[in-house]
Amino acid sequence: MIDVHDLGRLKARAPVDLVCESLGIELDPRGEALCPVHEERTPSFHVRPTLGTFKCFGCGVSGDVLDLVQLVTGCEFLRAVERLRSIAGQGTAAMDTPQRRTKPRMPKPPSRVPLAEVRSLWESCFPVGIAQPVARWLQRRSLDVRGLEALDLVRALPLNPVPPRWARSRGGSWRESGHLAVLPVFDARGSLAGLRARAVTTGPERKELSACGQTSRGLVYACPRGRSLLATRNGVRRLVVCEGWPDFATWATRLGDDAVLGIYSGAWSEELAERVPSGLEVLIRRHEDEAGAAYAEGVARTLADRCDVKVLDPRARGGIA
């Protein structure tokens, strides 16, 4: 059992800015950052170094340094304590043993929710063809329900099982908030690594949610050929990178011979770029806004020196030949 006084001393030896650095949260000089819990483009995550606390004014999460470790890594209490010890430079030594803090190692790849829980929830989801709310939403977006079902790019949230602790937002569980369309995301090796949820009604404030505690970097939507490309680095004649799930879903069902990946805010990474073979034709579809231009530029910059990259004009009519 961990003594509450020892735990308090541990938290005091782990400054919140140091914990953020170890977890890959990049604070600006004002102590602000993009929230590691929800997707955003303007920083709403704030830390208070004098109190050792944090709060996101976007999604409402808050707490101390131990809460932050649990939230970002998704680990249980005791493992979070060990991680905090490591950050504080104590290793596995006793909490009350004086020891000079050492510089933390750079963080490992972005935090993931437990893979077994991801697979379990995904396997319990329904095909969209028999889930009318999700099917109607897809049809309103002029998306190919049968094609998406055949490619297994979206499923419907199950009715009864208790959702995992990470499948929720400020509005409650994904089901309670109306985010019933479950979208799989894959890592740079083409393996299932997480789930996101999409609202199927106009009520929720946020259209799409990531799993609580899972960062978006390095995870993408991918059609079967896209996953194969990431896994093997060959087998396709062209890669199409789209911004957002609806655009990804549109082209994944239309371009049977191409690898199609879908990117959302902060998802593209150098590791993903390394999986794209040299000489491949790459088409980048973006939205007609500043964020879309920045996303396309970021993807193109990592591939332009070794691939045939074309950024498609969002104002041009028509699709991809």
Does residue 109 have a pLDDT over 60?
no
Q: Give the pLDDT of residue 299.
A: 93
Query: Which of the pair, 165 or 147, is modelled with greater confidence?
Result: 147
Interval 271-276 mean pLDDT: 94
Q: How confident is the model at residue 258 (pLDDT cuts 50, 70, 90)?
A: very high
Q: Give the pLDDT of residue 272.
A: 94
Does residue 94 have a pLDDT over 60?
no
Residue 267 burial (CB count, 10 A): 23
Does residue 103 have a pLDDT over 60?
no
Q: Give the pLDDT of residue 295.
A: 85
Render pLDDT for 175-190 as a digit per residue (tens, 0 to 9).
888 899 999 999 999 9
Render pLDDT for 184-225 as a digit per residue (tens, 0 to 9).
999 999 999 999 999 998 776 788 988 876 777 899 999 999
End-to-end Cα, the chain, rounded Å:
64
Q: Give the pLDDT of residue 228.
A: 96
Q: Give the pLDDT of residue 161.
A: 61
Label residue 117 exposed, middle or buried (CB < 10 Å: 0-12, 13-18, 19+): middle
Q: Give the pLDDT of residue 315.
A: 66
Average pLDDT, the chain: 84
User: Whole-model pTM?
Assistant: 0.65
Query: Which of the pair, 98 or 83, is modelled with greater confidence?
Result: 83
Listed by start position, the domains of the chain span 4-87, 115-311
Instruction: Fold for 4-87, please state it.
Output: DNA Primase; Chain A (3.90.580)
Residue 107 burial (CB count, 10 A): 15
Lowest mean pLDDT across 66-75, 85-94, 122-131, 136-145: 85-94
